[in-house]
Amino acid sequence: MIRKLSAAVLALSLLTGIARAQTPPTGQTGQTAQNTGTAQPPVKKVVTHYGPLVTKSSANLTVNLGDVGFTGSLPFDEAFGITVPIDGTVVSVAVWYRLKPKPYTAVTPTAACNNGWTKLDAYPPVGNSTNYQFTVPALKPNKYYQFFFSYKRKPDAIDKAALTTFTQQVIGPALEAKARTTAIGRRNFEFTNGEVNAIMDAIKGKIRAYVALKNLSVDFSLIDYGQYANLFNTLKNVSNAHQTSEDIKHNIEQNDRAFAAVQARLKHYRDTYNASGHTPVIAANVKLMDDIALALPAFLTPPLDPSTITAGLVSNYTTTCTSVLSSLGRIDITGDATYATLADDLGQFVQSNRQGVQDYYQSLQDATALAGAQSSSFVDIVTANLSNDVIIKGTTISGDFNTSASFYVSGDLGIAAVPQFSKAVPYLGTNIYFRPVNKDITLAGSPDDSFGDKFGRRFSLMFGLSIATLAKTNYRTDLFGGSYNLVTGAGFRITDYFRLNTGAIWYQKLNDNPLNSNSYIQPAFFVSFSIDLDVKTALDSLFPTRKP
């Protein structure tokens, strides 16, 4: 028994000889820890993300989540900073954090709503710096935290082109779906507010889906009134352009219907005129009228299908019209008021349609160009929001940051007063705290600390060995022989380095009968002051307190 205790004393002596607190190394967050907090922000420590935070490919925007993360554990009980290097595609960065909730919820913050997260103060790059910095308030020890990074950025040209196409893909069908013919005979491209909202929602959905494929997201909640008005104007302008095309088309179709009467008059006149004689002039005029009649089917089928109309079809049609007008101009009939009126009406219709089809084709071109430009404007607004107001959640650091450490262990040297023996004995002890203690901060901590935080930094259990004898002949001997007795108790740090302790010193009491050699272990109350030994060397390797 004595041998076993002696072995324990030896081990304890070794430990207490080198005992020192395990405190999280200042600013250490793994092998990449840097202390870059120079001018701003006003924080003591800086945690730099490890690995490329943002990776940009030529074809798309990629935020490489896999390479983002903190190494090591985060500081606790003190504010620290996070440095985020950005590249040229990142306009700004926002960071939120939270304790990992139990049960876990996947809700994430937006620029409009923190959703239970806490947004960090941001310090954008100044001068030539490309680093964003954030200040993190003191974190609780032994907790899991999550940090949510949101990068505001602009899509590249390829992405913008794709978004523009998507926007057009929404607007086009929406226009067609809307353009029902009204009672006044023309298709209507007016949109109600509800229809406008539906179109915008559809466009947003397309854009959202597109960026989601790139692990990005769009927060449209920050589109302000002015930007919404611009978006509305894009739709209105496209609607107006389509309405112009529709007006021309409707006008041509209406004139074609009205032309039926002119066509009948021409046929009647030709038949009557043909019966008036067979001079070469009459024969030539009849031939010309027949040529016109042959061309009229083509004249009455103008290329008005916007999906098939081409410049070639328009050219063919205008050639037909010009041919009709040419034939009409070569008819040699004078002094006949009926023919003059007929020729004038016929000429007007042909001229009107010739101009109308040209205008219609041009209006379609204009509408298509405008739709493209306006869709691009729409995307510009969105992307402007991306760089100003709208957030693309380009990356989140979704990993958990373990701030926990093993129980804090420190060693101290004290002098214990034992009233029972009227003696004071020095001892070496070890203090065990029930929470990690960051000794880089003041004992008082911060005003935000809870009672538990403050108490936890001060209170500890203590055990050790007295290093002066308590032996008294015929009364007691030292527990471990030599001059060693077990010291147990609890302590309370009253300053950074001084501790008030109390407890019991365990010694071996001898039997009152000198002839009886049996002895038994007895405690003796003590009060002590001790000094934090603050030995920082070997214990770091012997008692690694921080998880990798």
Examine residue 385 and tell whether it contacts another protein (CB under 8 A).
Answer: no
471 is a site residue for another protein (CB under 8 A): no
Q: Which of 140, 236, 454, 509 binds another protein (CB under 8 A)?
A: 236
Shortest distance (Å) from residue 247 CB to another protein: 5
Minimum CB separation from another protein for residue 229, in Å?
9
Stretch that binds another protein, among 101-109, 237-245, 449-457, 539-547 (CB under 8 A): 237-245
Query: Residue 21's CB: how many other CB atoms inside 10 A?
Result: 24
> Least distance to another protein from the beta carbon of 346, Å?
9
**Residues in 47-106 at the binding interface with another protein, rule: CB under 8 A:** none
HSE-CB for 271 with a 13 A CA cutoff: 6
Query: How many Å separate Cα 325 from the centre of its chain?
Result: 65
Q: Tell me how far apart the alpha carbons of residues 284 and 83 are, in angstroms, rounded to a whole number.
A: 92
Find the shortest distance in angstroms from Cβ 77 to another protein: 54
Sheet holding 131-136, edge to edge: 46-48, 80-85, 131-136, 121-123
Cβ proximity to another protein: between 23 and 285 the closer is 285
Interatomic CA distance for residues 233 and 227, integer angstroms = 10
Q: Which of residues 149-188 bind another protein (CB under 8 A)?
A: 180, 182-184, 186, 188
Interface residue with another protein, options 68, 262, 409, 524 (CB under 8 A): 262
Q: Give the β-pairing of 46-48 and 80-85.
A: parallel
Phi-psi group of 275: left, alpha or beta (phi > 0 → left; psi -120 to 50 → alpha; rest → beta): alpha
Taking the C-alpha atoms of residue 397 and residue 82, their distance in angstroms, rounded to an integer, is: 12
258 lies in the site for another protein, by CB under 8 A: yes
Per CB under 8 A, the list member of 7, 261, 284, 294 interacting with another protein is: 261
- Among residues 50, 144, 232, 407, the one that binds another protein under rule CB under 8 A: 232
Taking a C-beta distance cutoff of 8 angstroms, is the pair 154, 387 a contact?
Answer: yes
Mask for 190-229, x = binds another protein (CB under 8 A): xxxxx-xx--------------------------------
Which one among 6, 118, 230, 255 touches another protein, defined by CB under 8 A? 255
Tokens of 523: 């405690």
SS3 397: strand
| Using rule CB under 8 A, residue 384 touches another protein | no
Size of the site for another protein (CB under 8 A): 38
Q: Least distance to another protein from the beta carbon of 191, Å?
A: 7
495 makes contact with another protein (CB under 8 A) = no
Q: How far is the CB of 385 from another protein (least distance, A)?
A: 21
**Terminus-to-terminus CA distance in the chain, angstroms?**
40
> By CB under 8 A, is residue 545 in contact with another protein?
no
Shortest Å distance, C-beta 301 to another protein: 18
Q: Let me know: does 76 contact 438? Beta carbons within 8 Å.
A: yes
345 is a contact residue toward another protein (CB under 8 A): yes
Among 60, 131, 169, 355, binds another protein (CB under 8 A): 355
What is the three-class DSSP state of 366? helix
Q: Nearest distance from residue 251's CB to another protein, in Å?
A: 4
User: Which spans in 275-389 are helix H?
Assistant: 280-299, 311-330, 337-388
d(CA 310, CA 302) in angstroms, rounded, equals 12
Among residues 348 and 442, whose Cβ is nearest to another protein?
348
540 binds another protein, rule: CB under 8 A: no
CA 381 – CA 387 distance, rounded (Å): 10
Q: Which of 352, 387, 446, 519 binds another protein (CB under 8 A)?
A: 352
Q: Which of 154, 155, 169, 159 is nearest to 375 (CA)?
A: 169
For residue 115, the 8-state DSSP code is: T
Q: What are residue 93's DSSP bridge partners? A: 151
- Told to check if 362 binds another protein by CB under 8 A, we report no
Answer whether 487's CB lies under 8 Å from 427's CB.
yes
Asked whether 73 and 144 are in contact (CB, 8 A), the reply is no
Nearer to another protein, 59 or 258 (CB): 258
Angle at which helices 157-178 and 337-388 pack, to 10 degrees? 130
Mark the segment that binds another protein (CB under 8 A) among 56-64, 286-294, 343-351, 417-425.
343-351
Site residues, another protein (CB under 8 A): 180, 182-184, 186, 188-194, 196-197, 232, 236, 239-240, 243-244, 247-248, 250-251, 254-255, 258, 261-262, 343-345, 347-349, 351-352, 355
